[in-house]
Amino acid sequence: MSYDAFDLTGKVAVITGGNGGIGLGFARALAAAGADVSIWGTNAAKNAAAEKELQEINPSASSIQCDVSNEEQVEESMSSVVEKYGRIDGCFPNAGIGTQNQKPFFEHSNEDWFSVLDVNLNGVFYTLRAATRQMVSQGEGGSLVLTSSGTAIQGSAKGQAYAATKGAMLAMMMGLSVEMARYKITANAVIPGWIETEMTSGLFGWDKFVDNVMPRIPMRRWGQPDDFGAIAVYLMSEASRWHTGDVIKIDGGFSIF
């Protein structure tokens, strides 16, 4: 009899913001490891394209159009996942937006501030609350994997709203790692480095940015969404059952300097 600690067959994962970027990188690997994956996103066309791609890896993959800043939509979406698959074993609250207006902090409006918090913080709260409720009721443990950011530690000039949400996510994760341990539910966070996604595409075309940042990345390349697949599988697998409360940097060595 063989033992594969990374086999996720029979497990169900929810990935918000799973129709592109890091979220899709998570989803591809989880599906390949045998998990039934449900990706959530607001863009129906992107959802459909990602769902089609994932179904070529694992035919059970599905997508849901959901705005995580809307509490009712999150509750309905989580219920739909349970109705379809019967359970939830992993939750990856990955959906997020950046600061929309790069202007001085004292010029930020309430709308600038709360639009980011609604998605990046409230959305994570709604998603994790619904997921942990289901996991606790199942009584079989589970995995929570939050996508934070280096700005949670370093801050971000003119991007304070984004950085604040990512820092709050780390605090939320650490609290969950303690509270949920009695239910055999682990909670960890991933801090990505500079990844080639839609959110960062503008920066990577800016020569000054590239000239300043690339020399600080020992691996000498930008990260790719698929660089996050293996860590997703690990954190949802039996291999990580005693690994909780951690902040894991996947950044090509950027944070060393």
Please give the Cα distance from 61 to 80 (Å, whole number). 13
Neighbouring residues of 96: CB distance < 8 A, sequence distance ≥ 6: 17, 119, 120, 123, 147, 165
3-state secondary structure of 190: strand
Angle (deg, nearest 10), helices 123-138 and 160-179: 10
Q: Are 11 and 34 in contact (CB under 8 A)?
A: yes
Active-site annotation holder among 85, 126, 162, 234: 162
| E strand or H helix at 187 | strand 185-192
Q: Is 162 a catalytic residue?
A: yes
**Does residue 190 contact residue 29 with C-beta atoms inside 8 Å?**
no
Query: Helix H segments across 86-200?
Result: 110-117, 123-138, 151-154, 160-179
Collapsing DSSP to helix, strand or coil, 203 comes out as helix
> How far from chain centre, in Å, is Cα 144?
9
Secondary element (H or E) of residue 226: none
- Known catalytic residues are 162
